[in-house]
């Protein structure tokens, strides 16, 4: 009797182990896959399965939650029967609606502008190819990004809509009802310049140019890190004051913002380097003047028909003339009406870092000259 009971116990134990092993095996099968390693992008997780790829975007405003999960399935294959929860996107995209100039510029660089079927806010997109395609009717101008022309969007039959999410936006209005996958481009919420630039690898997956995007990012990373090392070895130590005030408010880049990180990597002293904000800090002119008014160099960005002068600065706001950099004539301006700063710099931070190094460490030569900034006249 004891032998029978012992045998029964062994069989039950074996069955239990097999059962448990089966369950954990099934669970691990769902988790298995080739996880793409992102070195800098903190908001992206991408795992490749046999028949599809799962891309998860972490919520930038609540990092314990997921903003969106995308299931990328090759358009040339049948849709798998069992997919995890998420928005299905058939790749590569062939007729996307793209809201922003910066993403149009990246797709142009990656050689897939033909896959952009339409754009929003055309007046802000300075890419000649995009302007010409819209004139010829090859690409659809879908109007204002805040209120796109739905008839045009429907007529172009987009396979995805690429737009930038905002905190507490309340959704995307009528565009959400079109049953078209909305890809939330949260790259601008990354807290490092290379983190944002690394999103090009995700866009490479979407548009079927993964290898090209990986190669471009490797090039950007290598040059950026080399420039950072050069700056760290410089004996020059200068301080920076960024941007202009808007109305009564001066928006200073937070210490954990991409711009704040760029200043650090350029070995530039910044008055708000210890600030913990990843966005901008709204401050009064008097506050900025007291803390950073004696900065050695002032970097300004503006959009005008002609380049600004010191007289223009003083005419805009007489208080500017009290800043040290104004008095010593060490103001550098970036006229975004004439240079592709906003289109290029987000995904080519090495270009911007090179400018900073040439301005703040002039003894470091052979960097090709300034791309975005120039001394004010």
Highest mean pLDDT: which of 33-42, 64-73, 363-372?
64-73
* 7, pLDDT greater than 70: no
pLDDT tens string 299-314: 999 999 999 999 999 9
Please write down the long-range contacts of 174-177, taking CB distance under 8 Å and 24 or more positions apart. 174/150, 175/148, 175/150
Question: What mean pLDDT do residues 294-302 have?
Answer: 98
First and final CA of the chain: distance in angstroms? 103
Q: Which two tokens stand for residue 287?
A: 């506050």
Q: Minimum mean pLDDT among 55-59, 103-107, 257-261, 362-366: which range?
A: 362-366
Average pLDDT over the chain, rounded to an integer: 91
Q: Which two tokens stand for residue 25?
A: 């095996």
CB atoms within 10 A of CB 48: 15
Buried b vs exposed e over 241-275: b needs ≥16 C-beta within 10 Å?
bbbbbeeeebbbbbbbbbbbbbbbbbbbebbbbeb
pLDDT tens string 128-183: 999 999 999 999 999 999 999 999 999 999 999 999 999 887 789 899 999 999 99
Question: What mean pLDDT do residues 228-239 have?
Answer: 97
* 31, pLDDT greater than 70: no
For residue 162, the surrounding DSSP H or E stretch is strand 161-163
- Residue indicated by tokens 């289109």: 343
* 78, pLDDT greater than 80: yes
Domains of the chain and CATH, by start: 34-218 (3.40.50.1980), 234-375 (3.40.50.1980)
Percent residues over pLDDT 70 in the chain: 92
- Three-state secondary structure along 270-294? ECCCCCCCCCEEEECHHHHHHHHCC
Residue of 16 and 304 predicted with greater confidence: 304
Contact 81, 145 (CB under 8 A): no
Strand ordering across the sheet containing 331-335: 269-270, 239-242, 297-302, 331-335, 374-375
Q: How far apart are CA 183 and CA 172, in angstroms?
A: 12
Q: How far apart are CA 54 and CA 71, in angstroms?
A: 5
Which pLDDT belongs to residue 12? 40
Which pLDDT belongs to residue 45? 97
* 60, pLDDT greater than 50: yes
Buried b vs exposed e over 294-317: b needs ≥16 C-beta within 10 Å?
ebbbbbbbbeeeeebeeebbeeee
Residue 336: phi and psi, rounded to 5, are -70, -5
* 276, pLDDT greater than 80: yes
Q: Given CA atoms 268, 338, 207, 175 in this order, what sign does their dihedral have? A: positive
Q: How far apart are CA 269 and CA 291, in angstroms?
A: 12
Confidence of residue 125 (pLDDT cuts 50, 70, 90): very high
Question: What mean pLDDT do residues 51-65 have?
Answer: 95
For residue 356, the surrounding DSSP H or E stretch is helix 349-360
Which pLDDT belongs to residue 33? 72
Contact 187, 179 (CB under 8 A): no
């Amino acid at each position: 009797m004891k032998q029978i009971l012992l045998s029964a116990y062994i069989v039950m134990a074996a069955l239990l182990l097999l059962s448990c092993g089966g369950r954990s095996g099934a669970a691990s099968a769902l988790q298995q896959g080739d996880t793409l390693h992102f070195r800098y992008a903190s908001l992206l997780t991408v795992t490749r399965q046999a028949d599809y790829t799962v891309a998860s975007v972490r919520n930038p405003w609540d990092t314990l939650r997921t903003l969106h999960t995308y299931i990328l399935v090759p358009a040339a294959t049948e849709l798998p029967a069992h997919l995890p929860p998420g928005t299905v996107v058939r790749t590569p995209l062939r007729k996307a609606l793209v809201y922003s100039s910066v993403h149009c510029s990246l797709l142009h660089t990656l050689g897939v502008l033909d896959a952009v079927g339409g754009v929003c806010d055309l007046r802000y997109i300075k890419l000649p190819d995009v302007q010409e395609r819209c004139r010829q009717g090859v690409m659809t101008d879908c109007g204002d990004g805040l209120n796109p022309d739905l008839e045009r969007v429907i007529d172009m039959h987009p396979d995805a809509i690429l737009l930038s999410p905002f905190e507490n936006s309340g959704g995307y209005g009528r565009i959400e009802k079109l049953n078209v996958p909305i890809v939330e481009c949260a790259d601008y919420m990354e807290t490092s310049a290379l983190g944002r630039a690394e999103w090009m690898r995700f866009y490479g997956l979407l548009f079927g140019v993964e290898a090209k995007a990986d190669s471009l990012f490797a090039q950007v990373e290598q040059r950026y890190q080399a420039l950072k090392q050069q700056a760290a070895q410089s004996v020059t130590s200068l301080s920076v004051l960024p941007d202009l005030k808007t109305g009564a408010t001066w928006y200073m880049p937070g210490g954990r913002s991409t711009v704040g990180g760029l200043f650090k990597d350029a070995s530039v002293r910044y008055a708000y380097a210890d600030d913990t904000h990843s966005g901008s800090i709204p401050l009064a002119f008097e506050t900025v003047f007291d803390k950073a008014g004696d900065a050695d160099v002032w970097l300004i960005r503006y959009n005008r028909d002609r380049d600004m002068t010191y007289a223009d600065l003083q005419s805009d706001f007489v208080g500017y003339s009290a800043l040290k950099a104004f008095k010593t004539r060490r103001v550098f301006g970036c006229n975004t009406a004439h240079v592709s700063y906003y289109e290029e710099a987000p995904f080519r931070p090495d270009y911007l870092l090179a400018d900073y190094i040439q301005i703040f460490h002039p003894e470091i030569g052979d960097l090709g000259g300034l791309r975005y900034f120039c001394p004010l006249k």
